[in-house]
């Protein structure tokens, strides 16, 4: 692969990760409930993505059949409710805390895949998972003296963890799909999201949504959903797995900056230590590093 192609892929993925990191800002500033935000995101995202697919011919030779369609529909249900829970957590915990905890999703994917297909999880991965979840508890920074299951903060942390689990369930189903266009998968997921979320969304106040709020929702649909996925899918074809793994950490880093810059939400030293635990554990699992020696181990081990 030439350097120019790789550089283009890096720019595409960098742009996508920066956009992803700003999702929380647009969700909060839209002033809508989590259900409404995701409904509008699916609706606007589907419109823009369908237009792009029709223009670029991405819907040719889709490789779809009835069985695969059913899998996509179930993956869509997990995906859209993952968004609902994540967006709700932004308003009850914080954008930075929720995003970092949500970034533990690869570990839930490993666990769900292992349980679903009765595959053993290596001791090495279990150790990295343990370190990551210690990081989650540090990032959550729960005050045991004021602990209450009914508190908004605990609810936000719990929603971020559930969102990660739902994302992992959706990713597990998508991994079963072979020979199906990724653009078609995303498009079907968005249309399913519109149908599934319509009964939960309160659209009675649609005329009360301000122009400024509509602009945030429009960006969520056109940029954070359509453009971001286009850039990610394009970059994946140009970059190696290690480069992709490292660059995904830009997403939570941007979210932490956004939370600090716009809402003056900063993390304590303990929380920052937790962030590094989660991020490095995720990288180590992706790169198949040994927990003890930090050297790559045989993938079949």
Task: Give the count of domains, the chain.
Answer: 1
Contacts (Cβ under 8 Å, ≥6 apart) of 79: 166, 167, 170, 189, 193
- Residues 247-281 have pLDDT tens digits of 888 899 899 999 999 999 888 888 889 899 988 88
Does 289 map to a domain?
Answer: no
CA distance 80 to 84: 6
pLDDT bracket for residue 205 (50, 70, 90): confident
Q: What is the pLDDT of residue 237?
A: 82
Instruction: Decide if 288 is inside a domain.
Output: no
Residues of the domain holding 216:
3-92+148-264
Confidence (pLDDT) at 300: 46
Over the stretch 5-41, which tens digit does the pLDDT of each residue have? 888 999 999 999 999 999 999 999 999 999 999 999 9
- The mean predicted confidence, pLDDT, of the chain is 88
**Structural domain includes residue 17:** yes
Cα gap 118→110, rounded to integer Å: 11
pTM of the model: 0.88
> Which phi-psi region, left, alpha or beta, contains residue 46 (left: φ > 0; alpha: ψ -120 to 50)?
alpha
Chain segment 66-125, per-residue pLDDT in tens: 999 999 999 999 999 999 999 999 998 889 999 999 988 888 988 999 998 888 888 888
Q: What is the pLDDT of residue 298?
A: 59
Please indicate, yes or no, if residue 127 is contained in any of the structural domains. no
Give tens-digit pLDDT for 225-254: 999 989 998 898 888 777 887 788 889 989
More confident residue, 180 or 27: 27
* Contact present, 175 and 112 (Cβ < 8 Å): no
Confidence of residue 294 (pLDDT cuts 50, 70, 90): low
198-224: average pLDDT: 93
Q: Is residue 275 part of a domain?
A: no
Residue at 51 is within a domain: yes
| Residue 33 DSSP SS3 | coil
Whether the pLDDT of residue 286 is over 80: the answer is no
Cα gap 188→244, rounded to integer Å: 25
pLDDT confidence tier of residue 289, bands split at 50, 70 and 90: confident
Q: Is residue 229 part of a domain?
A: yes
Residue 107 vs residues 22, 172, 228, 229: alpha-carbon distances, Å: 23, 12, 23, 22
- Following DSSP, what letter does each residue of 97-159 receive, concatenated? HHHHHHTTHHHHHHHHHHHHHTPPPPHHHHHHHHHHHHHHHHHHT--GGG--TTSHHHHHHHH
For residue 301, what pLDDT band results from cuts at 50, 70 and 90?
A: very low
Mean pLDDT of 156-180: 92
CA–CA dist 230, 121 (Å, integer)? 33
- What pLDDT shows up at residue 293? 76
Q: 146-166: per-residue pLDDT in tens?
A: 445 557 888 899 999 999 999
Q: Which residues, in sequence order, are CB contacts of 21 under 8 Å at separation 6+? A: 99, 250, 251, 252, 253, 254, 255, 257, 258
pLDDT at 143: 55
Looking at residue 63, its pLDDT comes to 78
Cβ–Cβ < 8 Å for 124, 297: yes
292 domain residue, yes or no: no
Please report, to the nearest 10 degrees, the dihedral formed by the alpha carbons of residues 224, 35, 76, 85 taken in order.
80
Greatest pairwise CA separation for the chain in angstroms: 60
Is residue 289 classed as helix, strand or coil in its secondary structure? strand
CA distance 37 to 84: 8
- Quote the CA–CA distance of 154 and 169 in Å, as a whole number: 23
Position 1 scores a pLDDT of 54
């Amino acid at each position: 692969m030439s350097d120019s192609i790789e550089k283009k892929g890096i720019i595409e993925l960098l742009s996508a990760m920066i956009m992803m990191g700003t999702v929380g800002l647009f969700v909060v500033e839209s002033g809508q409930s989590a259900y409404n935000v995701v409904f509008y995101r699916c609706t606007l995202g589907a419109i823009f993505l369908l237009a792009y697919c029709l223009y670029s011919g991405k819907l040719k030779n889709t490789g779809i059949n009835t069985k695969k369609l059913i899998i996509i529909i179930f993956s869509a249900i997990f995906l859209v409710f993952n968004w609902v829970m994540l967006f709700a957590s932004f308003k009850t915990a914080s954008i930075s805390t929720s995003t970092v905890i949500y970034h533990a999703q690869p570990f839930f994917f490993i666990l769900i895949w292992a349980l679903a297909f009765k595959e053993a999880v290596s001791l090495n991965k279990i150790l990295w998972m343990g370190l990551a979840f210690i990081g989650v508890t540090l990032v959550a920074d729960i005050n045991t003296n004021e602990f209450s299951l009914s508190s908004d903060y605990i609810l936000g942390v719990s929603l971020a963890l559930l969102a990660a689990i739902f994302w992992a369930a959706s990713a597990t189903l998508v991994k079963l799909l072979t020979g199906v266009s990724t653009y078609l998968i995303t498009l079907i997921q968005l249309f399913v999201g519109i149908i599934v979320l319509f009964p939960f969304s309160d659209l009675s106040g649609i005329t009360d949504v301000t122009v400024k709020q509509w602009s945030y929702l429009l960006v969520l649909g056109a940029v954070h959903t359509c453009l971001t996925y286009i850039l990610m899918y394009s970059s994946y074809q140009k970059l190696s797995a290690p480069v992709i793994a490292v660059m995904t950490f830009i997403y939570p880093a941007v979210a932490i900056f956004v939370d600090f810059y716009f809402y003056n939400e900063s993390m304590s030293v303990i929380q920052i230590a937790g962030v590094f635990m989660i991020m490095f554990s995720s990288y180590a699992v992706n790169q198949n590093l040994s927990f003890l020696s930090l050297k790559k181990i045989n993938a079949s081990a």
